[in-house]
A and B are shown apart, each in its own frame.
With several copies, the nearest count.
Chain A
Amino acid sequence: MEKKTVVLGVIGSDVHAVGNTILDYSLTNAGFNVVNIGVLSSQEDFINAAIETNADAIWVSSLYGHGEIDCRGMRENCEEAGLKDILLYVGGNIVVGKQDWDVVHKTFKDMGFDRVYPPGTSVEEGINDMKKDLGIA
């Protein structure tokens, strides 16, 4: 079976690099082709990388609290750029502060993210979900 490709990065003015390093390491170990665009990445950076590498999924990390602003319109922008139905995941500390998770989850679902993860999610959980969603579980 062909390796699936995941674009990985940290969105917005966010510089939290540690989780990104770990995700890269773990996704690679799990057999994915990882395109890591690193920290301080714009929606455009994600989308361009996904187009260039014909990616199957985009993993957006947002740690620093501005996730809500930074992720807005990402699904629409993907569609516009021709990335039809690409898997969009988001995780980290995606909003400012300790908020009701159900509300946060819904907000990001409504934005068009396929999976939305709370703080401290283990990498394995995301990987298992993605295997399911890509039909390779």
Chain B
Amino acid sequence: MELKNKRWTEEEFFKVREEVLNSWPTGKDVDLQEAVDYLKKVPEEKNFAIKLKKAKEAKVTLAQPRAGVALIPDHIELLNFLDKEGGADFLPSTIDSYTRQNRYEECEVGIEESEKAGRSLLNGFPAVNHGVKGCREVYESVNLPVQARHGTPDSRLLAEIIHAGGWTSNEGGGISYNVPYAKSVSIEKSLRDWQYCDRLVGFYEEQGITINREPFGPLTGTLVPPSMSNAIGIIEALLAAEQGVKNITVGYGQCGNLVQDVAAVRALEEQTEEYLEHYGYKDMVITTVFHQWMGGFPKDEAKAFGVISLGSIAAGLAGATKVIVKTPHEAVGIPTKEANAAGIRATKMALSMLGGQRMPDAKAIADEKAIIKAETKCILDKVLELGMGDLAIGTVKAFEQGVIDVPFAPSRYNAGKILPARDNVGCVRYLMTGNIPFSKDLLDFNRQRLEERGRYEGREVGFAMTVDDIFAVGKGTLIGRPEGK
């Protein structure tokens, strides 16, 4: 089957589906008609998509943690703890890293060893191994909507199992769950595999069941310039819409400069809606998710609370529909449930004390938003040009040519030619521009901003800045200045 940005036919879908369900024993338990009946009984307050839509209408920012452990009872306990003791608005089920690589045998080992050790040896919930039954047990034992959060280039079986299990949202996308999470999966393959996941959601939509999809905005979480992640988010939204997805949450990882963060979220929301509209996708519900700082954290818990709270406030001021919460254990390891709940409480306190306030309109925000939109448009225009109008084909070519290029991505299908660094006020800019298709004005703008920093710090603009910036937040500042600056 050739990759194209075109809705899969029933035939195409069901042919692939057979293969997918046969790839691991638990696949056989997915019965689509039975799943539709099951999902029809999900009450509104436990449907991810509906709760997001209502949050957007009410103009509130809701909080969601990350969390997942190997065994079902422990996982349920964890989720309910985050609801009751943390005050989470949405529940996650973070999937373990073996599942993400479709290595289900290793998951079996991890499950067994976890049972023996009495603690989770897996870094997440192995949903495929636990199957539809296990996922339903989780869904039925909690009071909030559940979403799978992972990083799986080929998430087709996972998607089948979780949705049939009552989980009404799936994070990921053909770019965002490949490039940061894989080394040797081609863009073509992951785009196609995620078309499957989207088509599955589209199928449910046609049966009257709304399911949320969420492209993973932060990518590598490390100094990704807003226009790059926004462009990818918009592409994934368009690809999903083509497959029939209606409820999409586009995401953004905090960069750290408040003006840039607010501008980026607003640009993302507006441009996503504009492009969907332009391509004629109707009745779409577009919401936004803001990820608290995704790069290296400070080890000290008090400092971590400072980072967490700043992220919450940025999310609130930007008007994001949802905020993904970090924890005071972030720098060290997967958090205890207590640390996780503490992160949510700090987040919700900051948000509720902000009381729905937005960043007041200001020229600085408008200017930054204009820059981000212009950069994003340059990328998207070029992608479409490369695909001769087909977004999927264009995306594959864009990666080949470094037109889309994610910094620090492990994927060998990513050019890895661009390098970011902060400017003198902490906004993330393009330092090495690789093959990014920007207008001369935009290239000059990025350069000028970085040179301003170079002058201030009395050093050349270069990779040393990037390295310093990578360590900066962990060490307690936003910008990695040379000593004494």
In the bound complex, how far is the Cα of B123 from the Cα of A69, in angstroms?
A: 11
Known A22-B470, A25-B467, A69-B113; contact A15-B408, beta-carbon cutoff 8 A = no
Pick from A39, A66, A119, A120: contact of B123, CB below 8 A.
A66
The answer to whether B182 touches A15 (Cβ under 8 A) is: yes
Known A15-B180, A18-B470; contact A97-B336, beta-carbon cutoff 8 A = yes
Pick from A17, A64, A93: contact of B408, CB below 8 A.
A17
Closest to B463 in A: A25
Q: Which residues on the B side are within 8 Å of A38 (C-beta)?
A: 183, 410
In the bound complex, how far is the Cα of B151 from the Cα of A15, in angstroms?
A: 10
The answer to whether A15 touches B183 (Cβ under 8 A) is: yes
Q: Which residues on the B side are within 8 Å of A97 (C-beta)?
A: 329, 332-336
In the bound complex, how far is the Cα of B408 from the Cα of A21, in angstroms?
A: 8
Pick from A18, A68, A96, A120: contact of B334, CB below 8 A.
A96
Q: Report if B252 contacts A (CB, 8 A).
A: no
Closest to A69 in B: B121
Q: Residue-by-residue, is A1-22 near B (CB-CB < 8 Å gives 1, otherwise 0)?
A: 0000000000011110110011
Would you give the shortest CB distance from B193 to chain A, in whole angstroms? Answer: 17
Closest to B464 in A: A25
Q: Which of B192-234 contact A (CB under 8 A)?
A: 220, 222
In the bound complex, how far is the Cα of B183 from the Cα of A15, in angstroms?
A: 8
Interface of A is mostly: loop
Q: Which residues on the A side are within 8 Å of B113 (C-beta)?
A: 69
Q: Which of A13, A39, A65 has the most CB of B within 10 A?
A: A13
Q: Which of B334-374 contact A (CB under 8 A)?
A: 334-336, 339
Q: Report if B430 contacts A (CB, 8 A).
A: no
Q: Which residues on the B side are within 8 Å of A21 (C-beta)?
A: 408
Q: Report if A98 contacts B (CB, 8 A).
A: yes
Q: Report if A83 contacts B (CB, 8 A).
A: no
Would you give the shortest CB distance from A81 to chain B, in whole angstroms? Answer: 22
Known A13-B98, A15-B410, A96-B123; contact A119-B332, beta-carbon cutoff 8 A = yes
Known A13-B97, A18-B470; contact A120-B299, beta-carbon cutoff 8 A = yes
The answer to whether A13 touches B121 (Cβ under 8 A) is: no
The answer to whether B97 touches A14 (Cβ under 8 A) is: yes
Would you give the shortest CB distance from A103 to chain B, in whole angstroms? Answer: 12
The answer to whether B408 touches A65 (Cβ under 8 A) is: no
Q: Report if B22 contacts A (CB, 8 A).
A: no
In the bound complex, how far is the Cα of B181 from the Cα of A15, in angstroms?
A: 6
Would you give the shortest CB distance from B135 to chain A, in whole angstroms? Answer: 21
Q: Report if B331 contacts A (CB, 8 A).
A: yes
The answer to whether A65 touches B333 (Cβ under 8 A) is: yes
Would you give the shortest CB distance from B68 to chain A, in whole angstroms? Answer: 11
In the bound complex, how far is the Cα of B109 from the Cα of A68, in angstroms?
A: 13
Instruction: List 10 additional A-B contacts (Cβ < 8 Å) besides A12-B97, A18-B295, A69-B109.
Output: A13-B98, A15-B180, A17-B410, A66-B98, A66-B110, A66-B121, A97-B336, A98-B332, A119-B332, A119-B333
Interface CB pairs A-B, < 8 A, 9: A17-B220, A39-B183, A40-B101, A40-B410, A65-B123, A69-B109, A97-B334, A98-B333, A98-B336
Interface residues of B (CB under 8 A from A): 97-98, 100-101, 103, 106, 109-110, 113, 119-123, 151, 180-184, 220, 222, 295-296, 299, 329, 331-336, 339, 408-410, 463, 467, 470, 474
For the complex of A and B, 9 pairs with smallest distance between CB atoms? A65-B123, A17-B410, A97-B333, A39-B410, A13-B97, A13-B101, A98-B332, A40-B183, A97-B334
